[in-house]
Structure 1
């Protein structure tokens, strides 16, 4: 993958990450896998910084998704199933 190909891919992900939400058909794990496929050793410092911002945005989405999942109700004994 060339420097320009990597830049194009990062730009695409930056565009997409501006649009995705926890309600999308494509799971967040898909985007996590896309980010993990970048050849980290070949990246320029600016590309690494852009990827770090995307990873932070994805972590934030994942945290908000976890908050949306309700906990199971408590049993009469005060424990969860």
Structure 2
């Protein structure tokens, strides 16, 4: 993934995950797969920080998912 794609994916994930509830129409596993792809890429420090924040947000949703369903 080149830097433009990484920035685009991070921006998209930031928008979606910040407005998403655990019962969102896409399963959380879909977002986990997309985020894991970003996390596996070589990231600059600012991208790594953003990706870790997204990982924390998604983990919170994943933890709450059984309670909501």
RMSD: 1.6
Unaligned runs of 5+ in 1: 70-81
Q: Is the 8 A contact 1:17 1:54 kept in 2?
A: yes
Q: Give the TM-score of the pair, scaled to structure 2.
A: 0.85
Higher relative contact order (CA 8 A, sep 6+): 2
User: Which structure dedicates a bigger proportion of its chain to helix?
Assistant: 2
Q: CA deviation at 1:60?
A: 0.4
Unaligned runs of 5+ in 2: none
Q: Give the TM-score of the pair, scaled to structure 1.
A: 0.74
